[in-house]
Amino acid sequence: MGSEKILASIGEVSDDTEFFTPIPTGYVPGRTKYVVVFGTVMSGLGKGIFSSSLAKILQDKGLSVSPIKLEGYFNRDSGTLNPYRHGEVFVLDDGMECDMDLGTYERMLNLDLTRLNFATSGQIFSRVLEKERKGLYLGRDVQMIPHVTGEVKLRLRELAVVSDADVIFVEIGGTVGDVENAYYIEAVREMSHEEGRDNFCFVALTYIIEPRILGEQKSKPAQLNLKLLNAAGIHPHIIACRASDPVTKKVREKIALFANVPIERVFSMHDCDSVYVIPEMLRGAGIDTAVIDRLELSDLVDQTSEEAARSTWSDYISRFRGAAHPVTLGIIGKYTSVRDSYASIIQALEHAGTHVDAKVQLEWIDSSDLTDANVAERLENVHGVIVPGGFGIRGVDGKIACIKYARENALPYLGICYGMQIAVIEYARNVCGMSHANSTEIEPDCPHPVIDILPEQKKIEGLGGNMRLGGFDVALTPGSEVSRMFGDREMIRLRFRHRYEVDPRFIDELTAAGLVFSGRSPDHPIMQVLELPREVHPFFIATQAHPELTSRPLTPQPMFVGLVRAALVRSGVSADVAESEPLRDGSESDSIDKATTSA
């Protein structure tokens, strides 16, 4: 039976069938193809990087793609998750707080995603429970199969309708064998049957160990875990083997034999110096052809588009690899031991560095150890500093010491969200003489609450979803440093995630003392960017937003570009060289345009 027929026969909700497959209006069976990526052996293999690279090589061929991450946890979004455990919380333009993988997809695919691209068990089960209360299950007992799995399939088909993509990339969070994601795996198994054989491609990412004691690659954990996938009713079409070094033919043969997948479809995916190298590595191995063949998509392939995309991308990679000027930037934070908590900042610095021919090295500095007494020594080797976003009281004094030092010693400074709020506190204390200036987040009853909770956030109770979230416009003061950085634009769009803001009552006093608020919300008295003029400091910019979230490889975020340029000058590179290294593939203003409008 063709997929159309199957869908039609099970599309209606009824109590005299075992099927439950609600189909969204406008869904055309067979129109959309699906690639599903499963993780085996262990988490942390870079499933999102793999899946986004795979999506990119199909996108390069002229196909439209849209990703979705299916998370097993019950949180409705990632907003309440500790970045120390789960990596940074990525924020989409529509305000969705989600897994950091969505950032990888946005950067790799140069797409703005929405809440439809991110599902959690919390969302799926909430919808099921709401429907149960509305009596939509017509007297049936509500079960994992078919109702919960039906809801998952509905989410995938909804994305297919809304995105109108040729291929949906489904990344299932966690690893095969977890209790949390078992129903997602079941849902895609059911759906592959409903949609028809040629419309689904299952890809298993696995891990090849190389114990030092043996000095050779071993495939047993991979074999056992691939068997688990088989036991769940999924026979992968493609297997990608993660490893530190290229996976040997012998190991790939073993995997092919035990997992029953032809050797030509078992690929090595070893470590690389930049995530942006992975698409070319997958293409080189022939994984793109394997997917195209499986999904019978060769008619849609546009070779000219592919060649153009490849050359732009390889230009980026050779610039990244060949960057001439080493420069060191300090990141002052509290989660400095876990790089994933700052994933987008690391990426934004890579993009900016590549743009201006700088090889950016990072120095992680724990703010809890910084004091006025040791800050000069601690920052001795850095050419610029970033105080990134953060919450709570820990390490704030160290951040104040760092900002004071940067301000007084012409050290380039970029403050992000909390980094802007703390810059205001530092200025109020040390320049305006308000020795007790603070944020009410740190000291609720302080005498000079220069940073206070946003009026509209005061009304919201509980921790989930009570922040100002997502993309908002920022009106830039004409002639300001920041407006200059954005190609003299007067309105840009940035992404936000905060609960506190500069209290408007203190703005006159801060401004009179020399602090410039050069970016404001067009409709509320919310200060969104501050700066010190060029005559006073070579680069002192802070923003209430998270500019790192909208930086893309080919369209680096101008604030990061500005910081790296200033750091280059600090490191001894002449200002002329630092200021004149635009990307080869587009004019500077063109890249700024994309960075700001796609935010």
Min. distance of Cβ 422 from ligand GLN in angstroms?
9
Q: Using CB atoms, what's the residue nearest to ligand GLN?
A: 389
* Closer by beta carbon to ligand GLN, 95 or else 390: 390
Q: Where are the alpha helices (DSSP H) in 437-557?
A: 455-458, 481-485, 507-512
Min. distance of Cβ 456 from ligand GLN in angstroms?
13
* Closer by beta carbon to ligand GLN, 357 or else 452: 452
Distances (CA, A) of 32 to 63, 88, 170, 389: 11, 31, 12, 39
Distances (CA, A) of 19 to 76, 135, 195, 216, 417: 27, 17, 14, 49, 49
* Closer by beta carbon to ligand GLN, 418 or else 506: 418
Min. distance of Cβ 389 from ligand GLN in angstroms?
3
Min. distance of Cβ 453 from ligand GLN in angstroms?
8
Contact set with ligand GLN (CB under 6 A): 389-391, 417-418, 421, 441, 497-500
Min. distance of Cβ 499 from ligand GLN in angstroms?
4
* Closer by beta carbon to ligand GLN, 223 or else 457: 457
Which amino acid is present at 180?
A: E
Min. distance of Cβ 371 from ligand GLN in angstroms?
22
How many Cα neighbours within 13 Å face the side chain of 288? 23
> Which residues 6+ apart lie within 8 Å of 274 measured at CB?
317, 320, 321, 350
* Closer by beta carbon to ligand GLN, 389 or else 412: 389
Distances (CA, A) of 573 to 308, 337, 348: 33, 30, 21
Reply yes or no on whether 548 is catalytic: yes
Omega cis (within 30) before 24: no
Contact yes or no for 254/239 (Cβ under 8 A): no
Min. distance of Cβ 399 from ligand GLN in angstroms?
11
Reply yes or no on whether 201 is catalytic: no
Residues 120-154 as b or e (16 or more Cβ within 10 Å = b)? bbbbbeeebeebeeeeebeebeeeeebbbbbbbbb
Active-site position among 417, 531, 537, 581: 417
Reply yes or no on whether 241 is catalytic: no
* Closer by beta carbon to ligand GLN, 67 or else 471: 471
Active-site position among 201, 501, 546, 581: 546
- The long-range contacts involving 262-269, CB below 8 angstroms and separated by at least 24 positions, are 264/290, 265/237, 265/238, 265/239, 265/290, 266/238, 266/239, 266/241, 267/238, 267/239, 267/240, 267/241, 268/240, 268/241, 268/243, 269/50, 269/205, 269/240, 269/241, 269/242, 269/243
* Closer by beta carbon to ligand GLN, 401 or else 417: 417
Active site residues: 417, 546, 548
